[in-house]
Amino acid sequence: MAQGLIEVERKFLPGPGTEERLQELGGTLEHRVTFRDTYYDTPELSLMQADHWLRRREDSGWELKCPGAAGVLGHHTEYKELTAEPTIVAQLCKVLGADGLGAGDVAAVLGPLGLQEVASFVTKRSAWKLVLLGTDEEEPQLRVDLDTADFGYAVGEVEALVHEEAEVPAALEKIHRLSSMLGERDRPFCAFPAPHFSLLEAPTGPCSGGGPLD
């Protein structure tokens, strides 16, 4: 994702007919892909408690998801995705209260910041895009990702990318409309079920109600 874009998303529980329903709504299957994600945090899970999610995706690189503007309620969440390593390092230092580490590579600051692997799993994803009927076809398409992790956990996500905070309400309205058309119910989001935590004790529990699996 381009640096600086805001990701607005809503998680839901996919069912056996979700892909068929997407086709009926005019959705296009972009691709199916399998990938491994490894997440990093402190032993106290300081990043997750601050709703920050540091991930290295196999053959893709580092990404840090940060909370967007306050006031996004309910099952909608808003994140900024950072992919430039100097920017990631600067944000990590800010959240963890560390100074003097410069703006180097993420891997170089893992040790000084006390960050270690806390979860690693393989996900199978089908990625869809579509434009809702009744909207301008020139508008950015909504994205729907259907994920199944190697431990059997399945989650769907409707996502819109916007450039400014002022665009968030309209994006939320479109996300809600599509979710209603899919007929799927919201689900509390379990970021990392207990068997996939390398740290046995999570201060807030392994199911936090928020955070990305994407």
Binding-site residues, in ranges, read 7, 9, 145, 157, 159
CA-based nearest residue to 68, from 11, 4, 115: 4
Query: Are residues 77 and 158 in contact, defined by beta-carbon separation less than 8 angstroms?
Result: no
DSSP state of 188: -
Element of type H or E holding 176: helix 168-182
Tokens of 37: 């994600």
Q: What is d(CA 154, CA 163) in angstroms, rounded to the nearest whole number?
A: 29
**Identity at 208, one-letter amino acid code:** S
CA-based nearest residue to 199, from 116, 97, 108: 116
CA distances from 155 to 40, 81, 125 (A): 21, 20, 10
Provide the annotated binding site for Mg(2+).
7, 9, 145, 157, 159
Question: Do strands 53-57 and 76-82 pair parallel, antiparallel, or not at all (unpaired)?
Answer: unpaired
Question: Burial letters for 51-69: b for 16+ Cβ neighbours within 10 Å, e otherwise?
Answer: bbbbbbeeeeebbbbbbbe
